[in-house]
Chains A and B, each alone.
Chain A
């Protein structure tokens, strides 16, 4: 099974900061990666699919890049509502495991 490792596990940042979260796959997955945002007590929300495609309705300050084994999620200018936990998920091959999550906190 393909394992996903996110880094960092947690991150403190300020409103207006540029933030990057990394997801590394244990083997190549082409561009079959999605990013989700989860706020406390809520279901995850799809942000990015196919590594770099922005889901409809998601602000353009979110962007994704990468292919193969290394991927990044970037938030260009943090807003107060962006403080949450972010997960990557691969869908190149079964099973479709998630990364362990990155908790983004207010500095």
Chain B
């Protein structure tokens, strides 16, 4: 059974860079045909698609976040990562990682709350 687990700093200061990692177990992140995604949800609001990285290494980002987002893969550790720079209070959210199959998100991590505050 595939499992995904987010980890990283739960508190980030404004203007700094948010960094999260998603550890994948029960399967290889190098398996072909999958994308590895990040989604976020501000408190009390809906889901916002952040972007994903394909097994090939190609990345696709939400245009509204593109200038600040980087998603990367570390195959040696079977994990992928999210970096979001120049954060503000508006970036406070629960951040989820997920596996995609042709875009369909079939496995999700439990989510991790990141608060942006000084």
Contacts and interface: CB of A to CB of B under 8 A. Distances in A.
Whether A associates with B in a native complex is yes
Interface of A: 1, 32, 34, 36, 38, 42-46, 49-50, 55, 87, 89, 91, 94-101
Contact of A101 (B46, B62, B104): B46
Contacts of B47: 36, 38, 44, 87, 89, 98, 101
A97 B49 contact: yes
B27 interface: no
B105 A89 contact: yes
Nearest to A48: B104
A66 to B, nearest CB: 16
A98 B98 CA distance: 14
B110 A95 contact: no
Contacts of A46: 104-106
Q: Kindly list the 6 A-B residue pairs having the minimum CB-CB distance in the complex, ordered from nearest.
A: A91-B103, A43-B108, A49-B104, A98-B47, A101-B46, A94-B60
Interface in B36-88: 39, 46-49, 51-52, 60-63
Majority SS at the chain A contact face = loop
Contact of A44 (B51, B102, B108): B108
Nearest to B48: A98
Majority SS at the chain B contact face = strand
17 contacts: A36-B47, A36-B105, A42-B110, A44-B96, A44-B105, A87-B46, A89-B105, A91-B103, A95-B49, A95-B51, A95-B62, A96-B49, A98-B39, A98-B46, A98-B47, A100-B46, A101-B47
A4 to B, nearest CB: 11
B96 A43 contact: yes
B102 A91 contact: yes
Given A87-B47, A95-B61, 20 more contacts: A32-B103, A34-B104, A36-B47, A36-B105, A43-B110, A43-B111, A44-B47, A46-B104, A46-B105, A46-B106, A49-B104, A91-B103, A95-B60, A95-B62, A95-B63, A96-B49, A96-B103, A98-B47, A98-B49, A99-B46
